[in-house]
């Protein structure tokens, strides 16, 4: 099966709403990349200005780079994502009109696996504050670790999101907006 790094579609975003303000209460902004189920979820609000972009996409750009998705995305992917994602409600408000949209969720990906194949990936290593940092330019994944996984993050590199071709097909078949994909090697 093929796998892809999930990317927000900046190429088509001329009229896309871009949430540029967020209110997350006292939660840590990195809470959704830990790979753990979130037990306490507060009121989360994202704001956008519809005069700068008024198309609310199925994958919504936001200042924390959280994976914010539409209710339609949740409904169409729930069966294949079952235990791999926790959907948490957020409010989206148009600063210009004051209209609130309740049909968005943070997709908290709870599957974090050790699937990065460094031998076949292209990367740089540098040190920052006496810590070794790996910056991956081209990913290769271990096929044995990703079997039956449709969405996941990598242990020790939890920012990028990876998806299966099965999930990619659901996204494409439903014409979900805001998504772009970069195929990765599977070894």
Say what the pLDDT of residue 158 is: 87
Give the number of other CB atoms < 10 A from CB of residue 145. 16
Burial of 15 (0-12, 13-18, 19+ CB in 10 A): exposed
Which pLDDT value is given to residue 12? 87
Per-residue pLDDT at 133: 85
Question: Parallel, antiparallel, or unpaired: how do β-strands 122-128 and 131-138 relate?
Answer: antiparallel
pLDDT under 50: residue ranges of the chain: none
Instruction: Read off the pTM.
Output: 0.94
23 and 93 Cβ atoms separated by less than 8 Å: no
Amino acid 134: pLDDT? 86
Inter-residue contact 177 to 132 (CB < 8 Å): no
| Helix ranges, the chain (H) | 71-81, 165-173
Per-residue pLDDT tens for 63-91?
999 999 999 999 999 999 999 999 999 99
d(CA 119, CA 117): 6
User: Would you state the pLDDT for residue 100?
Assistant: 95
């Amino acid at each position: 099966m093929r796998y892809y790094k999930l990317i927000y579609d900046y190429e088509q975003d001329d009229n896309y709403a871009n949430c540029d303000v967020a209110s997350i209460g006292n939660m840590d902004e990195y809470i959704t990349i830990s790979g753990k189920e979130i037990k306490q979820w507060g009121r989360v609000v994202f704001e956008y200005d519809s005069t700068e972009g008024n198309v609310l996409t199925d994958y919504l750009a936001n200042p924390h780079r959280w994976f914010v998705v539409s209710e339609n995305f949740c409904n169409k992917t729930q069966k294949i994502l079952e235990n791999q994602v926790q959907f948490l409600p957020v409010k989206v408000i148009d600063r210009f009109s004051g209209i609130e949209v309740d049909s968005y969720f943070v997709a908290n990906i709870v599957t974090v696996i050790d699937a990065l194949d460094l031998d076949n990936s292209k990367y740089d290593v540098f040190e920052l504050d006496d810590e070794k940092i790996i910056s991956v330019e081209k990913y290769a994944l271990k096929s044995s670790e990703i079997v039956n996984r449709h969405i996941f993050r990598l242990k020790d590199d939890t920012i990028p999101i990876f998806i299966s071709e099965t999930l990619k097909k659901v996204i494409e078949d439903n014409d979900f907006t805001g998504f772009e994909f970069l195929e990765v090697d599977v070894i």
